[in-house]
Structure 1
Amino acid sequence: MKIKQLHNLYLDCNSVNTDTRKIKLGDMFFALKGDNFNGNKYAEQAIEKGAKYALVDEAKFATQPNIILVENVLESLQNLASFHKVYLNIPIIALTGSNGKTTTKELINVVLRQKFRTTATIGNLNNHIGVPLTLLSMNTDTEIGIIEMGANHLKEIEFLCDIAKPDYGYITNFGKAHLEGFGGIEGVIKGKSEMYAHLMTNHKIIFINADDHIQVEKTNNAQTFSFGNNQSDVSISLINAQPYVKVSYNNLIIESNLIGTYNFSNIAAAIAIGNYFKVNDPAIKTAIETYTPTNNRSQIINKGNNKIILDAYNANPTSMKAALLNFEKQAGSKIAILGDMFELGNDAEVEHQNIVDLATSLNIDQLLFVGENFFKTSINASKALKFKSFDVFKINFDISQIVNSTLLIKGSRGMALERVLDLF
């Protein structure tokens, strides 16, 4: 089937879906395959549940006229999304980076929503499936699209840019994330910079943090719109980050609900992009000040007389270091519960040891390290304990002994350290 024909069928549907458990009346179902599942088997079920069309790539499952046989369902999803972007002809802002992608995306969205009808990536649906699904969730009511792009190996950002065809782009930072897939920090920089290459080739606008020398160097010959303390298009400065990040912009004081100096650049990017799209300053201030983080990202939670900084959505050496340095500035009794950092490959041993060495050197009263990688480290500090797994931690550490304290809970997604909350 030609992509234009497929697009016409898509326009006749209410939405796209890849999960029969969530089918709604009028959906277009894409029968994706995985290592442990074959969506083709559920095409008939999708139709029975109300899907208008289902796409399969195995002929034996194309049993009725509205089950459409294509060569490859995933490629059809991606090609349809790319065609749809051109059809809508709306500006797309793409962003990637090692840390802060989702928070920055949410901040950009709340700022631009003050003036425009926006559609943004839901949660972190930022891969080769999530990006097409986000594009296909946009319609003629959408005025600006905001696409988050994640990657753990080279050429992935390039591929996602080919699908989304962004008109603007922003890279939050270059840190020690997914070192195993990228082959080290140089690989991270090269991989993330694929977005720059795409935007520069197509003569598009790149938003940059003028205080980040890598961003400045990598966009030397590009069309840029910059923000920061240094010479830039928009001047934004950090006032302080205690207890929450407060910034100065255009003679305005903006007080956020985000902790940590590491969130300053995330907030500044959203302000600058709002400025570029001519959102008025009072609306930018309102958007930033009313945004509250969710999904285990720098959330502040009170449990009895304890204050918990829940930052358990993900972790890598760069974000872990930033979180610890910020946490040290907290007042009163401080306890950090830190979980393993994943996808570090051969660097796992040294990076976990580096975090242990840093954490034990800081003014933090108690350190609890959870996970196999942290368990292998050498710790010479009476204030530190290590546990091989969360279950061992749960059995051997009495959480009720923690009172009148501030806690930092941080680890990679696979550690699911938000489970600590259930122990109180």
Structure 2
Amino acid sequence: MKIEHLHSLFLECNSVCTDTRKIKKDDMFFALKGDNFNGNTYAEQALNKGAKYVIIDEKQYKTSTQAIVVNNVLETLQELATFHRRHLNIPIIALTGSNGKTTTKELINAVLSQQYNTTATVGNLNNHIGVPLTLLSMDLNTEMGIVEMGANHLKEIEFLCQIAKPDFGYITNFGKAHLEGFGSVEGVITGKSEMYDYLIAHHKTIFVNGNDAIQLKKTNDAKRFVFGNDALADITIDFIEAQPFVACKYNNANINSKLIGDYNFGNIAAAIAIGSYFKVADDAIKNAVENYIPTNNRSQIIKKGTSNIILDAYNANPTSMQAALLNFEKQTGRKIAILGDMFELGNDTEKEHQNITDLAVSINMNPVILVGENFYQSESDSNKIFRFKTFENFKSEFDFAQLKNATLLIKGSRGMALERVLDLI
């Protein structure tokens, strides 16, 4: 079936679905395959649950004229998303980076939605499946799309750009993330910069944090819009403070966010800059930033009993862990850090966990609780370090009364699920 015909059938449907547990009436179901499942086997179930069409790639599961057989379901999903993106012909803003992608995406969406009907990536659906699903969630009411792109190896951002064909792009930063796949920080810079390569090749606009020397250098010959307090900046945004919430100054107005940590200044500044570029009124930008409240275990401030908690347990890598600890150092009163293993670091795993252990020891907090096999193997003779090989060991062996009357930082990679600590306090 030609993609034009499939797109006409897609327009008859309410939405796209890849999980029969979430099927709604008149959805188009794509029977994706994984290591432990074959979506083709669920095609008939999807129809029984109300799907209008099912897209399959194994003929034996065609039990109805509503089942459409293609060569490869995943490739068809991606091709349909690109066709639909061209059909809508709206501005698409893409963003990637080692840290802060999702928070920045949500801030940009909050600002732009003050004036435009936007559709943005939901959660972190930012891979070769999530990006097509994001594009296919846009409809004729969408005036602007915001697409988050994640990557853990080279050529992935290049591929996602070929699917989404962005008109604008922003890279939050380059850090020590997914070193196992990228090989080194230099590999991270090369991989993330594939977005720059695409935008430059197609004469599109890049948003650049003027306080980031790497971004400035990489986009020196590009069509770009620079923000920050650098002399090259098209607009000036000044950092004020983070005690604990980040505040900044833009066009003579102070903007007071509900985000903690100096590291969130760049995320906020990007949203302000992009709003300014698209002519969102200053008061609307201020309103959007000041009313944005982080969720989903990202820099959340939680009060529980006598403990004040900074819950940043959605993910972690050496760069974000270091930034979180240095920010935490500025907190007053009794401070306790609960840190979980960082994943996908490859050959740098031992070194980076030791670096974070050493940094944690050097900061005025007591105790420092390290959870996970990698932290368990780090070395320190400090009596304020408590190590637990697993979360279950931590849960059963630690005296949680020690967490009372303190400010806690909880941070670790997603697989550690350290938000479970909340149930133990």
What is the TM-score normalised by the length of structure 2?
0.99
Residue matched to 1:396: 397
Task: Give 2:35's aligned residue.
Answer: 35
Q: Equivalent residue for 1:387?
A: 388
What is the Cα deviation at residue 305 of structure 1? 1.1
Q: CA shift at 1:379, angstroms?
A: 1.1
Question: Deviation of residue 69 (structure 1)?
Answer: 0.3
**1:371-405: per-residue Cα shift (whole Å, max 9, x none)?**
00000010121111111010000111011232210
Q: Which amino acid aligns with 2:286?
A: K
Matched, 1:227 2:230: no
Amino acid at match of 1:196: Y
Which residue in the other structure is 1:335 paired with? 336
The one-letter code matched in structure 2 to 1:69 is: V
Alpha-carbon separation, structure 2, partners of 1:65 and 1:228: 57
Give the match's secondary structure for 1:60: helix
1:310 and 2:311 aligned: yes
TM-score of the pair, normalised by structure 1 = 1.00
Output the CA distance in 1 between the equivalents of 2:17 and 2:145.
19
Whole-Å Cα distance in 1 between the matches of residues 82 and 401 of structure 2? 53
Task: Report the Cα offset of residue 151 of structure 1.
Answer: 0.2
Q: Write the mapping of 1:37-186 to structure 2, written as runs, cut at 5 A.
A: 37-186=37-186
Displacement, 1:161? 0.2
Amino acid at match of 2:406: S
In 2, Cα distance between the equivalents of 1:102 and 1:33? 26
In structure 1, C-alpha distance between the alignment counterparts of 2:320 and 2:20, rounded to whole Å: 37
String of CA shifts for 1:53-74, please: whole Å, max 9, x gaps. 0000001001210100000000
Question: How far apart in 1 are the matches of 2:56 and 2:404?
Answer: 56
How far did residue 201 of structure 1 move?
0.3
Measure how far apart 1:243 and its partner are. 1.6
Q: Letter of the 1:387 partner, please give it.
A: F
Secondary structure of the residue that 1:235 maps to in structure 2? strand
- Count residues in correspondence: 424
Distance 1:9 1:141 in 2: 19
Q: Which amino acid aligns with 1:7?
A: H
Query: In percent, how many aligned pairs have the same letter?
Result: 70
Q: 1:353-377: per-residue Cα shift (whole Å, max 9, x none)? A: 0000111011122200000000001
Gap regions ≥5 residues in structure 1: none
Q: Deviations over 1:325-355 (max 9, x none)?
A: 0000001000000000000001000000000
Who is 2:23 aligned against?
23
Q: In structure 2, what is the Cα distance between the partners aligned to 1:363 and 1:271? A: 34
Deviation, structure 1 residue 220: 1.1
Mapped partners of 1:111, 1:315: distance in 2: 26
Distance 1:337 1:229 in 2: 35
Q: Which residue of 1 aligns with 2:326?
A: 325
Q: Structure 1, residues 94-122: CA drift from partner, whole Å, max 9, x if none?
A: 00000000000000000000000000000
Stretches of 4+ aligned residues off by more than 4 angstroms:
none
What is the CA–CA distance in structure 2 between the aligned matches of 1:312 and 1:58, rounded to whole Å? 40
How many angstroms apart in 2 are the aligned matches of 1:105 and 1:75? 26
**2:245 paired residue number:** 244
What does residue range 200-219 of structure 1 map to in structure 2 within 5 Å? 200-219=200-219
Aligned counterpart, 1:192: 192
Deviation string, structure 1 residues 277-303 (Cα, Å, up to 9, x no partner): 000000000000000000000000001
Matches within 5 A, 1:221-300: 221-231=221-231, 232-300=233-301
- Equivalent AA in structure 2 for residue 361 of structure 1: S
1:409 counterpart SS class: strand
Aligned residue for 2:373? 372
Q: Supply the distance in 2 between the matched residues of 1:50 and 1:400 (Cα, whole angstroms).
A: 52
Q: Secondary structure at the match of 1:359?
A: helix
